[in-house]
Amino acid sequence: MQSQVHYTSCAHDCGGKCPLEVKVENGKAISISGRKALNKKLNIVPCGRGLSYLKRLYHPERLTTPLLRVGERGQGQFKPISWEEAIKIITYHLGETLAKHGAGSIIDLSRTGAVSAVLHECRKMTGRFLNLLGGRLEVKGSYSFGAAETASNEVFGTKHTAHEYSDLLNSKLILLWGHNPAVTKFGSDFISYLQQARRKGIKIICIDPRKTETTRLADEWIPIKPGTDVAVLLAMAFVMIKEDLWDRDFVNQFTVGFESFRSNVQGEEDGVTKTPIWASEISGVPEEKIIELARLYATTKPATMQSGRGAQRSAQGEHFTRATATLATMTGNVGKMGGNSGGCGYGIGPHGFGLPVPENPVDVSVRITNWPEAIAQGVAGGFPTDIHMGYCVGGNLVHQTSNINRTIEAMRKLDFFVVHEQFLTLTARQADLVLPATTFMERNDIQTPWAGHGNFILYQQKVVEPPSGVRSDFEILRALADQFGKGEEFDNKGEEGWLRHFADQFGVPDFEEFQRSGIYELPNPLSIPFKKQVEEGVPFPTPSGKIQISSPYLADRGLPVCAVYQKNPEGVEDPQRAEFPLQLLCPKQAKTTNSILSEIESPPMLAMHPDDANTFNVGNKEWVRISNHRGAVRAQVRVTDQIVSGAVSLDNGYYALSEEGEVVGAVNVLTSERPTEWGDNITYHTCLVKVEKAV
**pLDDT over 50 at 598, yes or no:** no
Mean pLDDT of the chain: 93
Give the pLDDT of residue 233.
99
Residue 641 confidence (pLDDT) above 50:
yes
Distance, CA of 596 to CA of 590 (rounded, Å): 11
Task: Tell whether the model's pLDDT for residue 47 goes beyond 90.
Answer: no
Architecture of the 575-693 domain: Beta Barrel (2.40)
Burial zone of 47 (CB within 10 Å; 0-12 exposed, 13-18 middle, 19+ buried): buried
Residue 424: per-residue pLDDT = 95
pLDDT-based confidence at residue 436 (cuts at 50, 70, 90): very high
Model confidence at 226, pLDDT cuts 50, 70, 90, reads very high
Q: Dihedral of the CA atoms 423, 429, 432, 434 (nearest 10)?
A: 0
pLDDT of residue 213: 93
Cut 0.85: pTM above it: yes
Measured distance CA(271)–CA(373) in Å, rounded: 39
3-state secondary structure 231-280: HHHHHHHHHHHHCCCCCHHHHHHHEECHHHHHHHHCCCCCCCCCCHHHHH
Residue 612 in this model has a pLDDT that exceeds 90? yes
CA–CA separation, 582 and 585 (whole Å): 10
Query: What is the per-residue pLDDT across 647-673, written as a single tens digit (0 to 9) for each?
Result: 999 998 788 877 777 889 899 999 999
What pLDDT, on the 0 to 100 scale, is given for residue 520?
96
534 has pLDDT over 50: yes
What value does the mean pLDDT take over residues 182-204? Answer: 90
With a cut of 90, say whether residue 597 has pLDDT above it: no
Assigned CATH for 147-348+530-556: 3.40.228.10
Q: Would 3-57 and 575-693 be classified into the same CATH topology?
A: no
Is the predicted pLDDT of residue 535 greater than 80, yes or no? Answer: yes
Fold of 67-140+354-447+465-495: Rossmann fold (3.40.50)
Residues 310-326 have pLDDT tens digits of: 888 899 999 999 999 99
**Check whether domain 3-57 has CATH 2.20.25, yes or no:** yes
Instruction: List, for residues 109-167, the tens digit of each pLDDT value.
Output: 998 777 788 999 999 999 999 999 999 999 998 888 888 999 999 999 999 999 999 99
For residue 183, name the pLDDT band (cuts at 50, 70, 90): confident
pLDDT tens-place string over residues 553-586: 888 889 999 999 999 999 999 999 999 999 999 9
Q: Are strands 623-628 and 631-639 parallel, antiparallel or unpaired?
A: antiparallel
Q: Pick from 467, 465, 445, 469: which is nearest to 457 by CA? A: 445
Using CA atoms, how far residue 556 sits from 310, 553, 560, 680, 687, in Å, is 28, 5, 10, 18, 30
Q: Output the pLDDT for position 145.
A: 83
Instruction: Say if CB 176 and CB 342 are below 8 A apart.
Output: no
pLDDT given for residue 409 in this prediction: 96
Least confident of 68-72, 82-86, 153-157, 520-524: 520-524
pLDDT band at 14 (very low <50, low <70, confident <90, very high): low
Whether the pLDDT of residue 643 is over 60: the answer is yes
pLDDT (tens digit per residue) in 331-388 = 999 999 999 999 888 888 887 788 999 999 999 999 999 999 999 999 999 999 999 9
**How confident is the model over 438-462, as pLDDT tens digits?**
999 999 999 998 777 888 999 999 9
- For the chain, the domains span 3-57, 67-140+354-447+465-495, 147-348+530-556, 575-693
- Residues sharing a CB contact under 8 Å with residue 604, sequence separation 6 or more, in sequence order: 635, 636, 650, 651, 654, 664, 665
- Type of residue numbered 324: T
Considering only CA atoms, which of 627, 528, 622 is closest in space to residue 584? 627
